[in-house]
Structure 1
Amino acid sequence: MFSIPGKSPVTITEAAERHISRLMASKSAGGLRIGLKKGGCAGMEYTMEMADTPAPGDEVVEQGAARVMIAPTAQMYIFGTEIDYETGMLESGFRFRNPNVTESCGCGESVSFALPGSAAAGAPPKL
């Protein structure tokens, strides 16, 4: 994992913790796996799926009854992200407040990253 010893790779708000734990209970799942895939206007899209157990290399973050598993290919891009769950009049869903994002598309569904020391700051990462 791309991490700092003693520091959680992501933070989970209370709203996200409640929603993740409800999803885990309703789906009889072991946690929410988060990853990234190529796609969208800005180059990368977050992926989320309920999973029974962590896959090899997953970083696991537990908070209360919530468990988040971060896929190995996403770990360096998601480090420092706050995971929130917002409920609104027109839509509800998870929100990722990621300090590594340099650009996002108008709809907010895809992002691009620049990592410290990268030669192509602002360009989509090659996974």
Structure 2
Amino acid sequence: MAITLTEAAARHVTRYLSKRGKGLGVRLGVKTTGCSGLAYKLEYVDDAGDEDIVFENFGVKLLIDPKSLAYLDGTELDFVREGLNEGFKFNNPNERDRCGCGESFRV
């Protein structure tokens, strides 16, 4: 089981944590919501939880709770710029469908 970050995502996280002045990395998980059932949640973290599973790419730690790992296994977290918009993009091979607004997904 593995979750990875692209170099672009790692650079963005590193810059943000540097501006913050602290931080361990990023926590990625899923929550039940939206019209398709699940949505990604992403937050910067200062400390690892007891149950967190830690992956590291390009010097950035990515923390996952065990319940979310089943839905996220194989996911690549990228950071993309498209025109005036920029943000994280989840390349999840487990996604079977995504709602029309892009808010949620189904596995």
- Establish whether TM, by shorter chain, passes 0.5: yes
Structure 2, unmatched stretches of 5+, are none
Tell me if 1:56 matches 2:50: yes
Distance 1:91 1:42 in 2: 24
- Indicate the structure whose relative CO is greater, using CA pairs within 8 Å and at least 6 residues apart: 2
Q: Match for residue 4 of structure 2?
A: 11
Distance 1:49 1:93 in 2: 13
Tell me if 1:24 matches 2:17: yes
Q: Match for residue 34 of structure 2?
A: 40
% identical equivalent positions: 39
**In the comparison of the two structures, how many residue pairs are matched?**
106
Q: Match for residue 125 of structure 1?
A: none
Alpha-carbon offset, residue 53 of structure 1:
1.3
Question: TM-score if structure 1 supplies the norm length?
Answer: 0.78
Which residue identity lines up with residue 56 of structure 1 in the other structure? D
Distance 2:62 2:6 in 1: 12
Question: TM-score if structure 2 supplies the norm length?
Answer: 0.91
Structure 1, unmatched stretches of 5+, are 4-8, 114-127
Cα shift readout 1:70-104 (whole Å, capped 9, x = no counterpart): 12221111000111000122311100110101110
Distance 1:69 1:105 in 2: 26
Which residue identity lines up with residue 111 of structure 1 in the other structure? F
**Which segments of structure 1 move beyond 4 Å, counting only runs of 4 or more?**
none
Secondary structure of the structure 2 residue equivalent to 1:107: coil
RMSD value, Cα:
1.2
